[in-house]
Structure 1
Amino acid sequence: METLREQMTFLLEQGIYDSAELLGGFLISAASANGDLSPSTRAETMILVADALYGKKEYKRALNLYRQAILQCRATPKQTTASGCRSSAQAGSRAQSGSLLHASSINENEVKYKIGLCHLAVNDTRAALSEMEGIPQKVRTLKTNLTLAKLYRITGYDRAATSAFRECLRQCPYVLEAYIALAELGVAAKELVSFIPQGQSKIIRASAEPFEAVRWLQRLAEGHCSVYSHNYRDGLEHFSYLGQRFPNNLHVLLETAKAELAIGKCEEALHNFQKARQVDQYNVAAADEYAMVLRTRASVAELNRLVHDMLNIDSTRPEVWVASAVYWETREEKLQALTYVEKAIRADEQHRSAYLMKGNLSLSLNRSEAAVIAFRKAHSLRTDLRSYQGLVRAYLAIPKHKEALCVAREAMKAMPYSAPALTLVGDVYVQNLDGREKGRKFYESAMRQDPGYLVAVLSLADLHCAENRTDEAIALLQRYLKTMPEDSLHVKLAQIFAASCKLRESLSHYQDALSMNPLNEAAKKGLERLEKQMKGIDPDALDEEEDNEGEDADAEEGEFL
């Protein structure tokens, strides 16, 4: 029996779970036939078999055996308990290693942890949390505290999650995910930095520059705190420092790209997402964010390649399904896109970008109430500019102007120096004739706050046009074009000139826009309309061939589905 247990332990260590389970079956049968075996010996056999089942992803079977093992352990006579089922304090070192090797050293808290993992694997988070909380605080290992912290976050107990993540950092100051999670939970950078060993360790003391030895960790914590407090520019400064010290670091590249995307620097974000793919082409993290950037370029072929690659790497990840939804949305197949968003949510109910995507799709399908629900969920998972913008657009579409204004003001309060937040308030005011003057002031304030934020410029130009001040709109756009030659400014000017029947000027600006960005979809569609106008054809008349447009191109793309 002892030889079989040793061999089974060896198989588990090697990850040969099928053979381990088969061997364990014989061990359990032998244990049942031998009435002289102690309950603790039977318990260890069950735990070994349960470990094999867990390795095979048969979580419910493993859960059943772990529970039986605990019952067996508790059934051990009192005189055996001291040696058979040792106290958690005595078995602490074995709990750290995660091994249950001898019949005389079963650690009940380690088994409880494994039971919690089984519950988590079958998405029973409440049961997992209950099991983990049953482990006394004094003997909780680092992995137990980290798992507990994540469970608290999933179930919405943010205060408890914060305490658990703090405990993780007290046990080991290099649990980087704890810094990131605490930053997202709103813990100040000053407190996070206090967990960093400022020269206490022997390695750091031996360094000529002890502070610099951990400076990077401080910048990482501060960078994430800046981003989660909506101070994206400071966040980018921290990530830029990290990027220089750690070239081609995947995490830094992705975080830099996401921060750039948050402030509208799409080209810079695209560059960093592409660089991240070059560093690790099999990485799936943030693939959905990358897809959203590609959508702004209307690059269907590139999106198709990305989704095809991601599906081949890991089709269980929510990022992959959101990226798929982005692809189908770009193809104007919005209902198809919505089915992929639902797949993403089923894969991970806490995946925020899936709800953002669902909200945007619902809005485009005139399902405003559904959009509000989706954006609210995204907002509850993490507040950022996109969730605020989505909620405002959804409320305006219903329309519920008071609710939209409330959300926009909340965004401005959360991001007091943010040009996009100021623009968002302006967008709500201009929906009513009486609020247009206030809206203009917010647009102008946003432009002063960030002269490079073109959304505010374009919004103010639209307001000028709505108030029949076309000349002011043209002058504004031309003034910005002198210092910021952007394709979006050319497109807006072309649209205004076309509406004013100045077709040659419109044609010139459409051509300029396409020379800067051949993938600018608005410029391509506007140019098509303009050409019809110049030929004396009504651009709004239905084209019989329109429905068949692009079929040849689709066949060449080699769709992933």
Structure 2
Amino acid sequence: MSGLVELGELFSPSQKYQLLVYHADSLFHDKEYRNAVSKYTMALQQKKALSKTSKVRPSTGNAASTPQSQCLPSEIEVKYKMAECYTMLKQDKDAIAILDGIPSRQRTPKINMMLANLYKKAGQERSSVTSYKEVLRQCPLALDAILGLLSLSVKGAEVASMTINIIQSIPNLDWLSMWIKAYAFVHTGDNTRAINTICSLEKKSLLRDNVDLLGSLADLYFRAGDNKNSILKFEQAQMLDPYLIKGMDVYGYLLAREGRLEDVENLGCRLFNISDQHAEPWVVSGCHSFYSKRYSRALYLGAKAIQGAALRNMGRVQEAIIHFREAIRLAPCRLDCYEGLIECYLASNSIREAMVMANNVYKTLGANAQTLTLLATVCLEEPVTQEKAKTLLDKALMQRPDYIKAVVKKAELLSREQKYEDGIALLRNALANQSDCVLHRILGDFLVAVNEYQEAMDQYSIALSLDPNDQKSLEGMQKMEKEESPTDATQEEDVDDMEGSGEEGDLEGSDSEAAQWADQEQGPSRSCRLYFETKGLGAAEQWEKRGKNMIWPKALQCMSVPVVDDISPAIL
């Protein structure tokens, strides 16, 4: 192609212009953007020379020349393609300069749309609003332009007024005004009203099972901290569109937080099969690595928020702060980014910075359960702000009694004040309609504090059934074993006497053997005896799976549980 272009004597000036544009187009599709810009520039120069020549030469009246000139690629279209190349090269200033050179009256909707997006990215909000409005003037149903205006704080009523004529003239468009209202709530951070409005929209026959609406609803539930409903809506959207990519990074993150790592891995594989040119599959893979505690790999694969979390868990707090700040810049509505940054500030003992950031979040995202809890978390770090923390947590729990983070922080405050009965009531109420490993474990801790050992053991067991790797629940069980009362010691002496008397064939052994058994933590303490006597052999098997390695025939007889003949050899 380049050889043909250089042989100018074989082609007319208009043909040379066409060949240069076609050559540049092919380079663009091969992703050779710099080379494409060079060829587009040459084409524009050729077009300029062609225009001068046509002005100088008198008209020959040749009818064949007219269709040829009409078929030439548009100069405006060439400039648009040059701007596309510059955006791919991340040279936004050059892209803006090219498009600004096009007279306003000659700008097509797609040129105004690109200009609006570039102005917005560059922080030139007034110019961006003007360009978006121009798009809507030309195309009143351009939904992306509507979203662009709403994202720049243009009021929903003003945006709706620009579409009112088209809504009245076309049937079945009555949903559009409510759609604009819903996304106006989204961009003002009013998640509750946005969710309610979109749910109303979803019930309309025209928008039922709309994938975009389901994705927006899932994202809103995520922002509101309702992870369960968020996952549900993402699953619905994914079932309707198996090739959906948008929002799947958040979906993968939520699945990873739920501990569903196999589902996360499958999701990542599916997304990579669809396209590896999007960020979502890489973020999902980063989430899988992070929650699998492969932090170095998460650092390589993940987005800014995951990188920040990975660096924080690796102890590189200052680097994590940089990544969380960048994540907040890119996604100012993502509460988890603020939470990560504040955790880093607290870890580095920067209480003042954490307080400033928590107050900013509270003002920016509004007084909801999440922001109230985040601010209370920082207040708990200082003795003088304990009462403020209590007030904030009470407000958060009034809004959402089931919000786990608020319940955990309120329980922490009650533990400091040694109000264990109040803490138990709080946790029982929170667990009435949900089951969470952390809540069961904390309830176990509170029950130990009031000497309710048997129920505490039940709570630790439930926590471990929800998360077998929860180390704190295991530590709680081990701590119970060590906290023996005088009555327990007497009972264990009776057990030792039984072993020494030789009355039972299965319990033959000396006092030294019993002592060794106790030292190795193989004999059942009061806490596990109470638990196993209540739950029976199945619970004992579960205990063995957690690495206690008890001598089962002796242990079971000490607990008054009959020894059966067909106990699995693996247990013995």
TM-score interval (norm. to shorter): 0.7 to 0.9
1:294 Cα shift?
0.4
Instruction: Specify the code of the residue in structure 2 equivalent to 1:416.
Output: G
Using structure 1 for the length normalisation, give the TM-score. Answer: 0.78
Secondary structure, counterpart of 1:283 in structure 2: coil
* Alpha-carbon distance in structure 2 between the residues aligned to 1:77 and 1:176: 38
* Residues 490 and 513 in structure 1, CA contact (< 8 A), matched pair in contact too: yes
* Alpha-carbon distance in structure 1 between the residues aligned to 2:265 and 2:365: 35
* Alpha-carbon distance in structure 2 between the residues aligned to 1:259 and 1:309: 24
* Residues 146 and 168 in structure 1, CA contact (< 8 A), matched pair in contact too: yes
Structure with the greater relative contact order (CA < 8 A, sep ≥ 6): 1 or 2? 1
Secondary structure, counterpart of 1:248 in structure 2: coil
1:368 pairs, out of 305, 317, 334, with 317
* Alpha-carbon distance in structure 2 between the residues aligned to 1:474 and 1:249: 44
Taking a change above 3 Å as real, the CA distance of residues 199 and 77 of structure 1, as seen in their structure-2 partners, is closer
Deviation digits for residues 7-42 of structure 1 (CA, Å, limit 9, x no counterpart) = xxxxxxxxxxxxxxxxx5575255x1237x33x442
Asked if residue 249 in structure 1 is aligned to residue 249 in structure 2, the reply is no
Using structure 2 for the length normalisation, give the TM-score. Answer: 0.76
* Alpha-carbon distance in structure 2 between the residues aligned to 1:410 and 1:388: 10
Task: Tell me which residue corresponds to 1:398.
Answer: 348
* Alpha-carbon distance in structure 1 between the residues aligned to 2:68 and 2:271: 40
* Alpha-carbon distance in structure 2 between the residues aligned to 1:82 and 1:216: 57
* Alpha-carbon distance in structure 2 between the residues aligned to 1:376 and 1:495: 36
Task: Tell me which residue corresponds to 1:288.
Answer: 249
2:5 pairs, out of 13, 25, 28, with 28
Asked if residue 191 in structure 1 is aligned to residue 158 in structure 2, the reply is yes
Task: Tell me which residue corresponds to 1:75.
Answer: 49
* Alpha-carbon distance in structure 2 between the residues aligned to 1:387 and 1:471: 35
1:243 Cα shift?
2.0
Asked if residue 56 in structure 1 is aligned to residue 17 in structure 2, the reply is no
Instruction: Specify the code of the residue in structure 2 equivalent to 1:58.
Output: E
Q: Quick one: percent identity of the two aligned structures? A: 26
Task: Tell me which residue corresponds to 1:215.
Answer: 174
* Residues 507 and 527 in structure 1, CA contact (< 8 A), matched pair in contact too: no
1:306 Cα shift?
0.9
* Alpha-carbon distance in structure 2 between the residues aligned to 1:54 and 1:479: 61
Taking a change above 3 Å as real, the CA distance of residues 129 and 359 of structure 1, as seen in their structure-2 partners, is same
Task: Tell me which residue corresponds to 1:521.
Answer: 467
1:438 Cα shift?
1.3
Taking a change above 3 Å as real, the CA distance of residues 275 and 188 of structure 1, as seen in their structure-2 partners, is same
Asked if residue 166 in structure 1 is aligned to residue 166 in structure 2, the reply is no
1:108 pairs, out of 66, 70, 75, with 75
* Residues 184 and 228 in structure 1, CA contact (< 8 A), matched pair in contact too: yes
- Deviation larger for 402-411 or 285-294: 402-411
Instruction: Specify the code of the residue in structure 1 equivalent to 2:323.
Output: A
* Alpha-carbon distance in structure 1 between the residues aligned to 2:477 and 2:288: 29
Instruction: Specify the code of the residue in structure 2 equivalent to 1:359.
Output: G
- Deviation larger for 226-235 or 394-403: 394-403
* Alpha-carbon distance in structure 1 between the residues aligned to 2:51 and 2:185: 57
Deviation digits for residues 258-303 of structure 1 (CA, Å, limit 9, x no counterpart) = 1111122111111111112111122211111011110121011111
> Following superposition of structure 1 onto structure 2, how do residues 119-518 of structure 1 map, counting pairs within 5 Å?
119-198=86-165, 202-204=169-171, 213-245=172-204, 246-341=207-302, 354-384=303-333, 385-482=335-432, 484-487=433-436, 488-498=438-448, 502-512=452-462
* Alpha-carbon distance in structure 2 between the residues aligned to 1:218 and 1:45: 47
* Residues 417 and 449 in structure 1, CA contact (< 8 A), matched pair in contact too: no
- Deviation larger for 224-233 or 153-162: 153-162
1:443 Cα shift?
0.8
1:138 Cα shift?
1.9
Taking a change above 3 Å as real, the CA distance of residues 65 and 449 of structure 1, as seen in their structure-2 partners, is same
* Residues 196 and 214 in structure 1, CA contact (< 8 A), matched pair in contact too: no
Taking a change above 3 Å as real, the CA distance of residues 416 and 331 of structure 1, as seen in their structure-2 partners, is closer
Instruction: Specify the code of the residue in structure 1 equivalent to 2:391.
Output: K
Secondary structure, counterpart of 2:50 in structure 1: coil
Taking a change above 3 Å as real, the CA distance of residues 489 and 219 of structure 1, as seen in their structure-2 partners, is farther
Deviation digits for residues 514-548 of structure 1 (CA, Å, limit 9, x no counterpart) = 7xxx6x3378544444454566579xxxxxx99xx
* Alpha-carbon distance in structure 1 between the residues aligned to 2:49 and 2:81: 20
How well do the aligned residues superpose, as a CA RMSD in angstroms? 3.0
Instruction: Specify the code of the residue in structure 2 equivalent to 1:270.
Output: I
* Alpha-carbon distance in structure 2 between the residues aligned to 1:371 and 1:186: 31
Q: Determine which structure has more spread, i.e. the larger CA radius of gyration.
A: 2
Task: Tell me which residue corresponds to 2:502.
Answer: none
Taking a change above 3 Å as real, the CA distance of residues 53 and 526 of structure 1, as seen in their structure-2 partners, is same
Taking a change above 3 Å as real, the CA distance of residues 125 and 525 of structure 1, as seen in their structure-2 partners, is same
Taking a change above 3 Å as real, the CA distance of residues 365 and 47 of structure 1, as seen in their structure-2 partners, is same
Taking a change above 3 Å as real, the CA distance of residues 313 and 501 of structure 1, as seen in their structure-2 partners, is farther
- Runs of 5+ in structure 1 lacking a partner? 1-23, 85-99, 205-212, 342-353, 539-544, 547-561
- Runs of 5+ in structure 2 lacking a partner? 59-66, 483-519, 522-544, 547-572
* Residues 491 and 523 in structure 1, CA contact (< 8 A), matched pair in contact too: no
* Alpha-carbon distance in structure 2 between the residues aligned to 1:179 and 1:171: 13
Taking a change above 3 Å as real, the CA distance of residues 181 and 525 of structure 1, as seen in their structure-2 partners, is farther
- Deviation larger for 301-310 or 491-500: 491-500
1:512 Cα shift?
4.5
